[in-house]
Structure 1
Amino acid sequence: MSQSSLMQSVDARSASALASGALQPVQSEQIRIEQEGLPFVVRWVSSLAAKDASKPAAIPGGPRDPNFNPFLNPDPELTVGPLGDTHVAILNKFPLSVQHLVLACREFEEQLLPLTAADFTALARVMTEAGGLGLYNGGTAAGASQRHKHVQWIPSTDDNAGLALFSAGLPQDLPPLGVARHPALSMQHCFVRVHSGPGMAVEQAAANLQQAWEKGCAELGLQPGADRLMPPYNMLAGDGWMLLIPRSQEQYEGISLSAICFGGTLYTRTREQVDLVQQAGPLQVLAEVGFGRL
């Protein structure tokens, strides 16, 4: 798929999938919470219940295969097309925004294997055309719902998560691959300065992303074990930064937290969980699923 046609293909496939019902956009109510000068959005998403219902469970004719892999042979109605030889772009069936993409390996790989040049090239193919925010949930404890390796992408809009909310607390004169911590984040994390966006050559953007990831992993001690798998972590890339957060657990008081939550938008399944976030404060909720700051 050519760079120039990627977003056109995403929009065309989205329109078709919406019409057929294959795409099930989130339906949400939201509140805004400001904490330590940072603007957060908390969304109560009723359609997450539909996502829960779609997970392996009893269905007519017998139980669904618990090892069912939606990314190995993706639904044609949700498939945008190949991203080079190694990845495919798929519409997220339960999108958290318009154009929410899954960029999945075409062959099965474990989600917790280290990210590779191919993974970053797939992400760069999207970001060099459309900017936006790259997301990665490294393992179940980091909010991943599938073992099949994939990164995600959402566009930059006023309503979407992003790393711009942290900008005021980060040094803007930091050189490429410079590392910073944000004073409002009490969990272990690091921001790495990275340049990747519209107009840059895909190869250069991919190299920049991979170098930033390697730098952040080294800074945080995120290294594969004897089984070649990484410890759980989240990655966000956009707005001139990459953010990495080691994860200790998936949930806070039953609320699942994935990478997108560290971009300022938290999602809950019930109105009561919104109240929990409001009472604790988003920063404390995020801190509880990470590790204490070194």
Structure 2
Amino acid sequence: MSSNNGYELSDNFYNDLTTKYNEALNSEHILFNGDSVINEIVELPIDNNKHFANAQLTLLTSLMHRPENNNKGNNENNPFEKPEPELTILDNFGSNKELKLVFNKFPVNAKHFLLITKKFSSQNLPLLPTELLATYNILNKINKLKPEGEEWFAFYNCGPESGASQAHKHIQFMTLPPKNKFKSYPEVCLENKLFKKDNNNNLNILDATKPLQNQDLPFSQFLIKLPENKEELTEEILTKSFTSLLQSTLTILRNNSINHISYNFIMTTEFMLMIPRSKSKYQDKLGINSCGVYGLLLCKNQELFDMVKEVGVLNILKEVCVPNSSDITFDEYSY
């Protein structure tokens, strides 16, 4: 991988992350009651019940203490301006030391951390090439160091209706449920090639300029598979892939007469996923961010947990996202 100066992490990164997390938890700088978490895995039918993915419903009462939706596009009450030393993992990251890594004070699960800009930058802006490279490098390094069976992903809530809780630009890193219990819909779609084919009935899974779309999910989703050979991954390839996703997203938001730019972005070492958003909450009750559109729904009380089970995950996502757009042909004039 080229242009890596400033984005390397030491081979002690994962051990340091674990040690610092435990210290911050024990000193109560991190507020997480892991013992109170209730997780329930449910099935998501994809194509007329031929293939199934999973969603996980989580009841986490410590989320009640988390500040909600302070993404007003300004720097008021900004926890990232001067993060607590006990929450800081790396003070200097990036070629110009413009980024830092800090723990989430209200984590969803253990070791949940953030990549933030040192200077204020708006959460309503797209990710920069350097931020994409930094994100990928962190995921790639963790994948090499983590214990067997632990899976990580990164996500970015962009825009006023994306479910972002802070206005200061931040990308989040979290572990996924165990692989033997949880398989996300992007993974199922990639594994079974459940995507719309082109006009010649072809499907190029590896075209970084043409996002893949599943026809059966009730909401728009754009996915790009990253190269298998991780040595091929450059800042340029990551940027080209992200730009393709963003062009499709902007086109769909415009086509649906949505007057704000909001979307969720998810990255693993295998793929990038972008979901255009129409609103941040289901029925003004349940906030949905990137975790939610990926099938990880977080509920802070029993009432919301029961509501999600009754309404169904796909019905909720259909309501807060944008209708499926796989019937629309994108070209170089899109957006």
Could you say whether these structures have the same fold, taking a TM-score greater than 0.5 normalized by the shorter chain as the test? yes
1:97 to 2:89 alignment: no
1:19 and 2:50 correspond: no
Q: 1:223 to 1:104 in 2, by over 3 A?
A: farther
Question: 2:217 & 2:252 partners in 1: Cα distance?
Answer: 22
Change (3 A) 1:207 1:100: farther
Q: Alpha-carbon deviation of 1:76?
A: 0.7
In 2, the alpha carbon distance for the partners of 1:22 and 1:74 equals: 11
Q: Which amino acid aligns with 1:21?
A: E
State the match for 2:217 in structure 1.
185
Cross-structure match for 2:53: 38
The 2-side partners of 1:88 and 1:80 are apart by 8
- 1:226-285, Cα deviation, whole Å (9 max, x unpaired): xxxx81110011252211111111100310000011222101112121221112210111
Amino acid at match of 1:12: T
Q: Which runs of 5+ in 2 are unaligned?
A: 1-7, 46-51, 144-151, 196-202, 255-259, 326-335
Q: How much identity, in percent, do the aligned residues show? A: 22
Aligned to 1:164: 187
Which 4+ runs in 1 deviate beyond 4 A? 159-163, 222-225
Taking structure 1 as the reference length, the TM-score comes to 0.84
> Structure 1 CA distance, aligned partners of 2:234 and 2:22?
29
TM normalised by structure 2 equals 0.74
How far off is 1:28 after superposition? 1.7
Q: Distance in 1 between matches of 2:251 and 2:136?
A: 22
3-state SS of paired residue (2:217): coil
**Alignment match, 1:143:** 163
Question: Which amino acid in structure 1 is aligned with residue 77 of structure 2?
Answer: F
Question: How far apart in 2 are the matches of 1:272 and 1:32?
Answer: 18
**Structure 1 unaligned regions, length at least 5:** 56-65
The aligned counterpart of 1:60 is: none
Q: How many residues align?
A: 278
* Aligned counterparts of 2:295 and 2:188: Cα–Cα separation in 1: 7
Alignment partner of 1:114 is 2:129: no
- Report deviation, 1:17: 0.1
Q: Distance in 2 between matches of 1:126 and 1:93?
A: 20
Q: Give the C-alpha shift of residue 100 in structure 1.
A: 1.2
Secondary structure at 1:33 match in 2: strand
Name the amino acid aligned to 1:31. E
Distance (Å, rounded) in 2 between the aligned partners of 1:67 and 1:48: 21
Residue in 1 that maps onto 2:226: 194
Q: Which residue of 2 aligns with 1:62?
A: none
Change (3 A) 1:195 1:101: farther
The code of the aligned residue for 1:106 comes to K
Aligned to 1:67: 76
Q: Which has the higher strand share?
A: 1
